[in-house]
Structure 1
């Protein structure tokens, strides 16, 4: 199943904004991390209907990836 591209872009924007706020990083840094993340890869390819998951679930996935890559800057 493929998501509507406009709705998917809006979902990306919400996720990036909340992720940046939670991690206390800039939007640019969050944007860069998101578009290079495994979470984005799964969402963009429609694998396991990841784009259907809640924003909070996807943000938690990003935070786990971020913590794995950059250390535990924020407790999840």
Structure 2
């Protein structure tokens, strides 16, 4: 499934902002982390319809990555 690019960009922005608030980091840090994350890679490629998941689910996924829980994930 392909997501509308504008809606996807808005989703990215929401996730980046909420993640920054939750982890108490700057928007720039959150932005950098998000765009280098495995979560973003899955979302941007439409794999497993990750872009259809709720913002909260995706933020939890980012938190697991941020904590190092997903160190062994491989790039797709």
TM-score (norm. length: structure 1): 0.89
Greater helix proportion: 1
In the aligned structure 2, how far is the partner of 1:15 from the partner of 1:2?
19
Work out the number of aligned pairs and report it.
69
Structure 2 unmatched runs, 5+: 70-76
1:33, distance to aligned residue in structure 2 (A): 0.2
Q: Which residue of 2 aligns with 1:50?
A: 50
Greater than 4 Å deviation, 4+ residue runs? none
Give CA deviations for 1:9-44 in whole Å, capped at 9, x if unaligned. 000000000000000000000000000000000000
1:12 and 2:12 equivalent? yes
The root-mean-square deviation of aligned C-alpha atoms, in Å, is 0.9
